Structure 1
Amino acid sequence: MLDKVLRQWKERLLAPLLETPLQQVHPLAITLAGFTVGLGSGTAAALGAYGWGLGLWLLNRLMDGLDGTLARLQRRQSDLGGYLDMLLDVVVYAVVPLGLAFHQGSLLGYAFLALMLASFYINLCSWMYLAGLLEKRQKASHDGLRRSADDELTSLRMPAALIEGSETILFYGLFFLLPEHMVALFGLMAILVLLSALQRLIWAVGYLSEGDEVPTPNP
């Protein structure tokens, strides 16, 4: 919901970091290092080290934003970089709540974790396939309708929805800060993610029947 606005702020906030020796680092190295940090967050969660888990989670998200900004600065954007970034993000999104549920070890916690991960699966299918269709239509459209690389600062066009990356950062932070409410937070996030998938479904039904025109994907 907030990603498109916050991406512009993220670019401005991270720009000073890229005036350091970091500007010489390959973006893929940042991506892989961030993935390792994310796995560390999940491990800390499984051990009940919530402070460490939260810190590593936030560092993972910082590095996830930094690699894309660095790639644009170095003119090293690539389809492979975008693909690996998304794939490794999804792994971290699964590992962190798995670690949290493992540490608590309750049947109810596992049940609501399964519900939340199922909502992720449905939502990923909804927006990834839709993003592929939008790219397909974009290539078939007139040049005037094509999206420039700076429009959304992402490898794929992502129709906006209630729960996006920014909201995920917030929810995962709450998992660490309020572990006693983990089950309720898992359930709440699952509901909101499913609503996001429904939101994109409604948008798709309204616009995918409009030939090759590429509409602006607002919620």
Structure 2
Amino acid sequence: MLDRHIRPLIDPVLNRLGARVAHHGISANEVTLAGLGFGLAAALMLALGLPGVLALVPLLIGRVLDGLDGAVARASGGKSEFGGYLDLLCDFAFYGAVPLAFALREGGNAPAAAFLLAAFYVNGASFLGYAALAAKRGIETTAQGVKSLYYSAGLLEGTETVLFFVALCLWPEAFRPLALGFGLLCLVTATARALMARRVFGGA
């Protein structure tokens, strides 16, 4: 929901920084993997019970790198299909690592973490399914930035997810209500996307 408003603000900065990174011979895929590394480091810190504020540092660095890899790709001659695939794979790995970290941090978090992971799974399936159908129809969009696949808009997008993870780092003791609330919103997003898919692509 917020991505289309945030992208015009951050893309010029990322594009300038991406050009500098590419100039030094660093590939977009290397930036993607570095972003995943920082994200997993944040998850590990949370799993070990360290203060969430400390985990916030690598988490934010990882998210900045996640936004930077596309700019590096464009500065290096354009996006690649594998680069888009790797970026999405790393995003899903990071998204799954955070709920797992809180389940390991405190056993009582496990039910809420399981619900959140299930909601991520359903929302991710709705997203990827829509992208596959859009690719089949040749439908494209740049509303959420230049991507390797179709990014369907929704109630929850990248910006909202980052803000959610920041909240978890700032208030780790509130994981259960935050996870339940965000999980429910993920399911609302998936439902809305499914209804939109039916309207756009047709169905009985």
Q: Is the TM-score greater than 0.5?
A: yes
* Aligned counterpart, 1:99: 101
Alpha-carbon distance in 2 for matches of 1:103, 1:91: 18
* Aligned counterpart, 1:43: 44
1:92-171 pair list within 5 angstroms:
92-106=94-108, 109-138=109-138, 147=140, 152-171=145-164
Query: CA contact under 8 A between 1:30 and 1:67: conserved in structure 2?
Result: yes
Alpha-carbon distance in 2 for matches of 1:100, 1:127: 25
Larger Rg: 1
Give the CA deviation at 1:76: 3.7
Q: TM-score, normalised by structure 1?
A: 0.85
Is the aligned partner of 1:192 residue 2:185? yes
Structure 1 residues 149-158 or 162-171, which shifts more? 149-158
Deviating above 6 A after TM superposition, structure 1's stretches of 4 or more consecutive aligned residues are 148-151
Summarize the Cα distance change of 1:3–1:148 in structure 2 as closer, same or farther, 3 Å threshold.
Answer: closer
Give the paired residue count.
Answer: 201
Is the aligned partner of 1:180 residue 2:173? yes
Give the CA deviation at 1:204: 1.4
Give the CA deviation at 1:110: 0.6
Summarize the Cα distance change of 1:75–1:51 in structure 2 as closer, same or farther, 3 Å threshold.
Answer: same
Give the CA deviation at 1:149: 6.9
Query: CA contact under 8 A between 2:22 and 2:75: conserved in structure 1?
Result: no
Alpha-carbon distance in 2 for matches of 1:19, 1:131: 28
Give the CA deviation at 1:23: 3.1
Give the CA deviation at 1:33: 1.1
Query: CA contact under 8 A between 1:7 and 1:153: conserved in structure 2?
Result: no
1:16-63 CA distance string (max 9 Å, x none): 423545532111111111111111011111112222211111111000
Q: TM-score, normalised by structure 2?
A: 0.91
Structure 1 residues 109-118 or 7-16, which shifts more? 7-16
Task: Report SS of the residue matched to 1:32.
Answer: helix
Structure 1 residues 4-13 or 16-25, which shifts more? 16-25
1:127-183 CA distance string (max 9 Å, x none): 111111111011xxxxxxx64779841111122100111000000111111112110
